[in-house]
Amino acid sequence: MPTYVVTGAARGIGLGLVTQLLDAGQTVVAAIRSATPSEGLSKLASTHTSQLFILQCDLASADSVKAFGQELAKKISSVDVLINNAGICTIPEDETPSNLQPRIITEQFNINVIGTLLVTDAVEPLFHAGTKIINISSFMASMETVLSMAMENGTSYGISKAALNMLTVNQALHYTECIVVAIDPGTVATDMNPEGESTVADCAAKMLAVESRLKIEDTGSFLSLEGTKRPW
């Protein structure tokens, strides 16, 4: 059975992915920010004792991510799929390109981009030919979408996810034997986006369906939940 690593697994889309992967019998490493698992993850741990490993991994701390990589190597010998799901989104109501707050841009860049690249580096020793790396992006990263929808709000978050897309392309060029993609989950009802259109369960199911169909030719792509190419 393949082994998955999912970051930001305590709640939201990450927890939904872990739930469905465990139900499908996969081995899952749930990487979480805090030292204590969430209630949802604890419940899963009590029913899937041999399949689930819970490890702390705070993307805001290079030391935490490094320690995560070391602990991971003690638990498992290879990673088939890394889902870089952990992320933050801060969109001040009045945010426009003319009043952006450097602190808010920096915080999101640190977690969504630098955190993701640190995790990928930490997991790299366990990659093999064919390992899939999925970076959870956003429609707000798409320059074409933002232009066509004339979206002015969400600039700082969009900047971080657009940078994540560029990281994805560079990772695809670097990890030549792996399949590296960015996926836009659409809008999903979670703490991050209570108004989201789809459910976590629906999003997780579609994302895992896309993951299962990924081929080496897909590397470097930005994909929708249907597996079609999204405009950059």
Ligand X SMILES: NC(=O)c1ccc[n+]([C@@H]2O[C@H](COP(=O)([O-])OP(=O)(O)OC[C@H]3O[C@@H](n4cnc5c(N)ncnc54)[C@H](OP(=O)(O)O)[C@@H]3O)[C@@H](O)[C@H]2O)c1
Using CB under 6 A as the criterion, which residues of the chain lie in contact with ligand X when the complex forms?
A: 7-8, 10-14, 33-34, 57-60, 85-89, 111, 136, 138, 185, 187-188, 190-193, 196
**Residue partners of 138: CB distance under 8 A and separation at least 6:** 157, 158, 161, 184, 185
**Residue partners of 80: CB distance under 8 A and separation at least 6:** 2, 3, 4, 128, 130, 131, 132
DSSP code, position 198: B
Min CB(176)–ligand X separation in Å: 25
Question: Based on CB atoms, which residue is closest to ligand X, 24 or 60?
Answer: 60
Min CB(10)–ligand X separation in Å: 4
Min CB(40)–ligand X separation in Å: 10
Question: Based on CB atoms, which residue is closest to ligand X, 148 or 176?
Answer: 148
For 95-113, letters b (16+ CB in 10 Å) and e give beeeeeeeebbebbbebbb
Min CB(19)–ligand X separation in Å: 12
Question: How far apart (Å, rounded) are the C-alpha atoms in residues 55 and 192?
Answer: 22
Min CB(2)–ligand X separation in Å: 21
Question: Based on CB atoms, which residue is closest to ligand X, 2 or 87?
Answer: 87
Question: Based on CB atoms, which residue is closest to ligand X, 34 or 228?
Answer: 34
Q: What angle do CA 69, 71, 75 make, to 5 degrees?
A: 110
| Strand 81-84 relative to strand 132-136, pairing | parallel
